[in-house]
Each structure stands twice: as structure tokens, then as C-alpha cells.
């Protein structure tokens, strides 16, 4: 049976050109050494840093390579709290669990601004939060990882600037799917993962605004200009740069076409609803959503049953109700939006997705839902 992968928002297959570029550096030397092999590795690492920065609108010196967005988020949260003891953290319920968990464990008071029915963070409540008390860090995702909602970044960053509060942007879900310009958005910190856009696992970046200095989260070495200890992963950094240099704009257009078809196929089934902003075909710049994510509510069936039945039909998908295979809990994102947090289906496409993937879902989904509903009625 052919397999159809519709879970790119969790992780995307590594691009062939990325694997090829990484191959010569997998067994490379320590870039911190002064011998020829070390200097070659250092040159490759700094070249990758420059290319990653250029792709994300950052200066090379603003790029700190990390093990991924989870580490970057933790470094941003704990670094900001250490820099302003007693300051609060702003983190909405729609933020990724890495942001919410790091904020909760930082020891700082956490302010949770409201979101609307599309999962959009309230600018008014963030403005009130940063103006009304001492805030160490305000978090604002670029786009939501479950329903795709693009957040009002410009307004939130402006509010934080006016109140002299640091702002961190989790761009892991957005990078590779919408244009990212760290310098233009004016944030202090930004987190990125390579594996969300066809890069290697185990590499990401924390972008740190020039002039901002935070204590390192990972200590034990002077790597990354003493901002992150541990030997640098040269091969992965090279692969990260290559992934960011793909024709991401063209891919995003293609992904939007595929998710439009996925959504239409799903909504043709009775009792299925779409969560998050709906695309507006006549106004492409007003879509308000990441192009590669569709989140659906399926009435009358459990999320886990839908996922398993689709998997049996050769289709890999995800539920917004779960962050991992070990836990199937109600989605805090959907709960904050005021919709059914227990029954959802997330479909996401990427660089390798095809029309055949959509066709397979469109063929299997109605039968899956009908069969599960009948089983529940008979039970």
C-alpha cells in the first residue's frame, strides 16, 4: 500500500539536497581547533550561519545554533527571566507547549492573554499586560502550530517596544512557509527549527537581536561566542542553510493549493468543521493562516480512532488533541478558542506533498468517518 504523509507540521522529510550537502561534514573535525581540518569546519559553520541569517532577515552574529526550537525557546525564556528577576512572562494558551512549559517552570508569574475564536492573540490584552506591570518577556508565535492562525506580530511587538519589554517569537511553525524577516519584525528573540521545513533533525537557531546579551542556557563551553556550550553540529548547520535556500515561496503557493483541496474534501462530509481562519480566495493577502496547515473538527468520532483508521488507509495525519503519541489530551489551543478540544484532525503538507496525497485523503476520509460513526451508533 502506498503511504501518504500529511504530517509535515510535526516534522518534514529531509530534502535530498540537504542530505547531499551534509554528507561531507558528518565526520568532520571540531570547528574550535586551529589545525587545517578544524579551520575548514569553522569556515563551513560560519558560511552556514551567514546563509541562515540571510534567509531569516538576521545578521550572522544574531544567529545562535541550537539543537532545535525547543532549546531555543527555553534559552529565550530562562535567559529573559534571569535578566529581569521578578518580571512576569506573557504567554497565551495557544503558544506551543515548549513556550508554556518553560514559562510555567521559570518561576516567573505568567500572564495569559485571551485569544479569539480563530486562536488570534488579543493585542489589547498584551498591551495591557506589558504596560501594567514589569514584564521580563512577552511571547508571540508567528503562526499557530495547530490551526495555522497568523498572529498580529507587528502590533504586539510595537506594544512591547513601547513598554520596554523583551519579545520572543516562536517561528518554528512558520519558517519555510511564510516569509520570515527577523530584522523587519523588530523582535528581540526568535526560535526556529530546521526539521519543520525539510532540514535535518537536531538543529535550529535562536536569533538574538544585536546588543542583547542573555546568560547561556547550555553551559560548559565557549562555543557560539560563549552563548551556547557544546561542540557545534557543522553538518546539520550546513543542511539547515540548504533547506532555507529552497524555493520556499513557490512551495508555499503549492502548499496552499493542496490544503485548499484537503479542506474542501473534508468539509464535504457532514458534521466536519474547519478551525482557524478560512482562506479568502479573492484576497490572498488576507488569508491570515499558514498555507500548509488544515485543522478540522469531526463530530461524532474520537480523534484517536480517526487517526488509526486513516493510518490503516495509508495516510499519516495528526490530532490537535495530542502533542505526542504517548498522550492524547484535550488541546489547550482549541480549548482557548472555545471549540471542541477533544475531537480534531490536523492535516499538513510540505515540500514533498503531491496531488496524490490529497486524492488519497479525499477517497478515504468519508468512508473512515461513516464507518466510525456507524460503529459508535451500534455500540
Which active-site residues does the annotation give? Answer: 323
What 3-state DSSP class applies to 145? coil
Between CA 264 and CA 296 the distance in angstroms is 11
Element (H, E) at 16: helix 16-23
- Give the residue among 109, 164, 172, 118 at the shortest CA–CA distance from 140: 172
Residue bearing cell 503531491: 354
- Give the residue among 196, 176, 91, 192 at the shortest CA–CA distance from 140: 91
Distance (Å) of CA 351 to CA 14, 16, 19, 192, 255: 10, 11, 15, 17, 8
Between CA 169 and CA 141 the distance in angstroms is 5
> Do residues 195 and 11 make contact, with C-beta atoms less than 8 angstroms apart?
yes
- Residue 57 CB contacts under 8 Å (≥ 6 apart), including other chains: 180, 181, 182, 183, 184, 185
Q: What is the DSSP string of 271-303?
A: TEEEESPPP-TT-GGG--B-TTEEEEEETTS-H
Torsion angle, alpha carbons of 292, 99, 156, 203, to 10: -60
Burial of 295 (0-12, 13-18, 19+ CB in 10 A): buried
- Residue 160 CB contacts under 8 Å (≥ 6 apart), including other chains: 126, 130, 135, 138, 166, 167
Amino acid at each position: 500500500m502506498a503511504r501518504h504523509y500529511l504530517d509535515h507540521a510535526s516534522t518534514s522529510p529531509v530534502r535530498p539536497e540537504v542530505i547531499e550537502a551534509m554528507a561531507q561534514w558528518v565526520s568532520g573535525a571540531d570547528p574550535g581547533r586551529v589545525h587545517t581540518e578544524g579551520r575548514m569546519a569553522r569556515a563551513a559553520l560560519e558560511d552556514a550561519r551567514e546563509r541562515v541569517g540571510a534567509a531569516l532577515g538576521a545578521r550572522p552574529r544574531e544567529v545562535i545554533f541550537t539543537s532545535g526550537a525547543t532549546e531555543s525557546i527555553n534559552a529565550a525564556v530562562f535567559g529573559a527571566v534571569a535578566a529581569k528577576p521578578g518580571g512576569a512572562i506573557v504567554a497565551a494558551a495557544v503558544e506551543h507547549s515548549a513556550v508554556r512549559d518553560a514559562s510555567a517552570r521559570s518561576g516567573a508569574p505568567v500572564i495569559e492573554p485571551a485569544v479569539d475564536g480563530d486562536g488570534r492573540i488579543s493585542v489589547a490584552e498584551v498591551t495591557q499586560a506589558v504596560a501594567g506591570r514589569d514584564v521580563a518577556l512577552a511571547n508571540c508565535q508567528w503562526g499557530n502550530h495547530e490551526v495555522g492562525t497568523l498572529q498580529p506580530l507587528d502590533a504586539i511587538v510595537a506594544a512591547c517596544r513601547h513598554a520596554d519589554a523583551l519579545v520572543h517569537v516562536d517561528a518554528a511553525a512558520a519558517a519555510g512557509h511564510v516569509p520570515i524577516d527577523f530584522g523587519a519584525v523588530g523582535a528581540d528573540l526568535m526560535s526556529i527549527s530546521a526539521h519543520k521545513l525539510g532540514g535535518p533533525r537536531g538543529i535550529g537557531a535562536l536569533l538574538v537581536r544585536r546588543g542583547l546579551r542573555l546568560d547561556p542556557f547550555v553551559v560548559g563551553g565557549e562555543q557560539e561566542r560563549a552563548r551556547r556550550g557544546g561542540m557545534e553540529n557543522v553538518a546539520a548547520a550546513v543542511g539547515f542553510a540548504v533547506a532555507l535556500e529552497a524555493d520556499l515561496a513557490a512551495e508555499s503557493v503549492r502548499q496552499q493549493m493542496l490544503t485548499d483541496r484537503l479542506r474542501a474534501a473534508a468539509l464535504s462530509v457532514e458534521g466536519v468543521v474547519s478551525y482557524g481562519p478560512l482562506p479568502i480566495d479573492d484576497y490572498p493577502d488576507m488569508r491570515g493562516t499558514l498555507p500548509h496547515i488544515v485543522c478540522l473538527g469531526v463530530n461524532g468520532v474520537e480523534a484517536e480512532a480517526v487517526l488509526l483508521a486513516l493510518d490503516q488507509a495509508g495516510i499519516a495525519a495528526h490530532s490537535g488533541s495530542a502533542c505526542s503519541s504517548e498522550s492524547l489530551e484535550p488541546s489547550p489551543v482549541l480549548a482557548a478558542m472555545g471549540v471542541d478540544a477533544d475531537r480534531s484532525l490536523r492535516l499538513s503538507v510540505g515540500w514533498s506533498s503531491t496531488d496524490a496525497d490529497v486524492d488519497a485523503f479525499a477517497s478515504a476520509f468519508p468512508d473512515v468517518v461513516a464507518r466510525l460513526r456507524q460503529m459508535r451508533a451500534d455500540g
